[in-house]
Amino acid sequence: MTASYDAAAVAALSERQVSWQDKALPPAFWGRTVADVLADKPRLSNLPTPLLTLSAPGLQHNVATLARWCAEHGVELAPHGKTTMAPALWASQLDAGAWAITLANGFQLGVARTYGVSRVMIANSVISPLQLRWIADELAADEAFEVLVWADSVRTVELLEAARSEYVGPGARRLDVLVEVGGAGGRTGARDAATAHAVGEAIAQSSTLRLAGVAGYEGAIAHGADEAGLEHVRAYLRDLAAVHSGFEDLYDADVVPVVSAGGSAYFEQVAQVLGPLGETGARVVLRSGAYIAHDDGYYRDVSPLGATPRTDGDRLVPAMHGWIRITSQPEPGLAIFDAGKRDLPFDEGLPEPQLLRPRSAEEPVRTLEGMTVTKLNDQHGFLHFEGDGALVIGDELRVGLSHPCTAFDKWGLIPVIDDPDADDPVVVDLVRTFF
């Protein structure tokens, strides 16, 4: 069953005033509500640079595409909300049929509860007694609320049990826990089947916890789409499936065990290897997050629905872009622009120059070629190009970006535009993030 959310709370975001804290908007908009700003149908030319924007048709396409793909391949989707930390975008994913929203920590869970998300997976161990007490209170106050957390060691289970047993009564709802399976060279997760089984047994024997399945993250196992890397991912997923199978006698009779993996890079491998477990009573859940914005870099190259697709279905499209302004040309072939590491992602590839915005009303948008961003400082970027007159101070450019997860966190309010290829796109929404 699809998770729900508080539609009224999400809608109320449009009544929040914008201010000097919202760097995407100029002073002329400060003090007005989001709804009032949008009522005037501002255009991209009304906004300052540097800027991050989202594409309305791109977001809609990507949300619908992966929802449809999951339905056709017999898996559920719990999108990783830490990518955007935007309740309005979570709402669009839940409206499209998402089973839950995945998050990474207690703070993010607090945002989800504020906006009424009814089912959350925390893809992490939660061992802070303060956070565990708050989660216990939330479970007690709302029978419809569900939360799943991870554990990869017996010690983690002992900490969970100790914190909860001192706080909740004997009749309290148990906390659902997934055993996290890892792999050599990966991140967290039990590194072998014996350890994973011991963790599962410890959960099953506890008084305040319930064994709810297994989970892991294959994106920490490989970092490319060559066949050797894909086989490495598949081998890891087979190990994860084997751990789940070993828990058959540990699951409570009323539990539908969750088997979860799948970021935005290898979800077709997850469906291939883990999907058949759905026929044996498990719920196979993907946690893809970056797909909603996709990109013009890492995910374009590695996504199963990217530039080189590895599965059936529509391709994802880049739905985020940066907008920059040339502020200096101190040397031939070098232009400095007004965006840096504080504004645009850089950890999975530097921005790619794409379009030159019209210099006058009589000029169209121009495609850029032969230009390369070579470096970002905190607030400046370095763009190299060939030829004289290709760029002048004051030019505005659109750049493609790589890695949504480190793009959204730089912007508290993100304009959504109707057509990123237009001469002067219309702003059709303003998305609030909470990082």
Q: With 80 as the cut, is the pLDDT of residue 171 above it? A: yes
Separation CA 411–CA 432 (nearest Å): 8
**Class of 7-55+316-432 per CATH?**
mainly beta
For the chain, the structural domain boundaries read: 7-55+316-432, 61-294
Read off the pLDDT band of 186 (50, 70, 90). confident
Residues comprising the chain, all counted: 435
Q: With 90 as the cut, is the pLDDT of residue 221 above it? A: no
Interval 389-430: pLDDT, tens: 789 999 999 999 999 999 999 999 999 999 999 999 999 999
Separation CA 278–CA 259 (nearest Å): 9
Interval 42-57: pLDDT, tens: 999 999 999 999 999 9
Phi, psi dihedral angles at 187 (to 5 degrees)? -105, -115
Interval 250-263: pLDDT, tens: 999 999 999 999 99
Separation CA 324–CA 334 (nearest Å): 15
CB count, 10 Å around CB of 369? 10
Interval 68-122: pLDDT, tens: 999 999 999 999 999 999 999 999 999 999 999 999 999 999 999 999 999 999 9
Read off the pLDDT band of 371 (50, 70, 90). very high
User: Residue 357: what residue type?
Assistant: R
Residues whose CB is less than 8 angstroms from the CB of residue 169 and which lie 6 or more positions away in sequence, other chains included = none
DSSP lists the bridge partners of residue 413 as 432
CB-CB contact of 251 with 257 (8 Å): yes
- Evaluate whether the domain defined by 61-294 bears CATH number 3.60.21.10: no
Read off the pLDDT band of 185 (50, 70, 90). confident
For range 314-343, the mean pLDDT:
97
CB-CB contact of 262 with 77 (8 Å): no
Three-state DSSP class for residue 210: strand
